[in-house]
Structure 1
Amino acid sequence: MTDDDILAEFRGSEALLEGHFKLSSGLHSGHYLQCARVLMNAERAGRLARALVQKIPREVRQEIDVVVSPAMGGLIIGHEMGRALELDALFLERPDGEFQLRRGFRLEPGAKVLMVEDVVTTGLSSREAIAAVRREGGNIVAEVSLVDRSGGQADLGVPFYPLIELNFPSYEEGELPKELAAKPVTKPGSRAA
């Protein structure tokens, strides 16, 4: 799957939005990727997951015992990655603001985990999710995401394999370009920032 194919999937599902958005990271952008829309079709979600599996080096794929993703954003693609890899897929939740396994999910001590996200912008949520897996006794072998918005700058502390890298500019609150600041802001993400 080429970058153009991937972007066509986002555009075709109306998942690539333009306007003024406050991202879950707290940054502002003129573009937002609504991964829930691109993943709402099971066939499309499966295609994207299979393409993402191909981004993971074979030797890393062979190590993975289980897939873990943070809810909400990573839940669907995490599940599809579990299906594509023929592995169980667990998810983390934040009932009290900190990621944790719930619903009877648990990791075997030393389990080799693939962390799966939808979008990485600053890497904060990923680092928090990785820390939670480590607290639960898991060992992160790599992280994957549908989209890397960090410009390759997110330091997750583990190997990182995004399906696509998109360089949409993002801005701190006090550094908004005039044309972006003039537009009403929308907060479409799943986390309060």
Structure 2
Amino acid sequence: MDAARLREALVERGAVLEGHFRLSSGRHSDRFVQKFRILEEPKLVAPVAQAIAARFAAERPTIVVSAAVGGIVLGYEVARALGLRAIFAEKEAGVPVLRRGFALGPEDRALVVEDVVTTGGSVREVLELVRAHGATCVGVGAIVARSRPDFGVRFEALLEMPIESFEAEACPLCARGAPIIDPGSRRA
């Protein structure tokens, strides 16, 4: 799926929301990308996952790693497209861990996938987990990049959507008294 078709699919499904949002990172924004409008439809997830997989196939990943909750479906579908295993990190006491018998080791070449990247905090946590288990990260693939954080590895997003975000104390929407919505999966 190319960027133009992905943008069209997001808009058609009402996935690009406008308002005053507190993001998972704690930052505020006037727009929010509700990725579940894509992830809820297998006919859309499959081509998105195939496009991410195609960008990293030459890196020869051996496993796909994502973060719960939003990354589970995407990680699974990217792994399916590559013929690999998919695992996901879950938070325990605020720290991502591998549970459910999931394992990584020095022999693994992990492709980390994320739905929407804003600050990159969730991706960095997964990268730290991958490295803590001795595995190599071959890259980070995402559906949408709101920004371009430096992860120290190759980073590819299917769609670049630069959307400004603000620290809470510097948020112009807060200054205007706009009501805030908490749409994210992780609360600051």
TM over 0.5: yes
Deviation at 1:27, TM superposition (A): 1.1
Letter in 2 for 1:59: A
Deviation at 1:59, TM superposition (A): 2.7
Q: TM-score of the superposition, structure 1-length normalised?
A: 0.91
Q: TM-score of the superposition, structure 2-length normalised?
A: 0.93
Cα distance between partner residues in 2 of 1:31 and 1:124: 18
Q: Percent identity?
A: 40
The match for 1:109 among 102, 106, 110 is 106
Query: How many equivalent residue pairs?
Result: 188
Deviation at 1:179, TM superposition (A): 8.3
Matches within 5 A, 1:59-70: 59-60=58-59, 63-70=60-67
Letter in 2 for 1:166: M
Deviation at 1:78, TM superposition (A): 0.6
Structure 1: give runs of 5+ residues left out of the alignment.
Answer: none
Contact kept, 8 Å, 1:107 with 1:138, in 2: the verdict is: yes
Deviation at 1:94, TM superposition (A): 0.3
Distance 1:31 1:106, change over 3 A: same
* Counterpart for residue 26 of structure 1: 26
Which digits, 9 at most, give the CA deviation of each residue in 1:23-59, with x for residues without a partner? 1111111111111221101111101111222333x53
* Counterpart for residue 144 of structure 2: 147
Cα distance between partner residues in 2 of 1:188 and 1:178: 16
Contact kept, 8 Å, 1:75 with 1:91, in 2: the verdict is: yes
Cα distance between partner residues in 2 of 1:2 and 1:109: 34
Distance 1:112 1:178, change over 3 A: closer
Contact kept, 8 Å, 2:2 with 2:158, in 1: the verdict is: no
The match for 1:72 among 69, 72, 88 is 69
Structure 2: give runs of 5+ residues left out of the alignment.
Answer: none
**2:150 matched to 1:166?**
no
* Counterpart for residue 13 of structure 1: 13
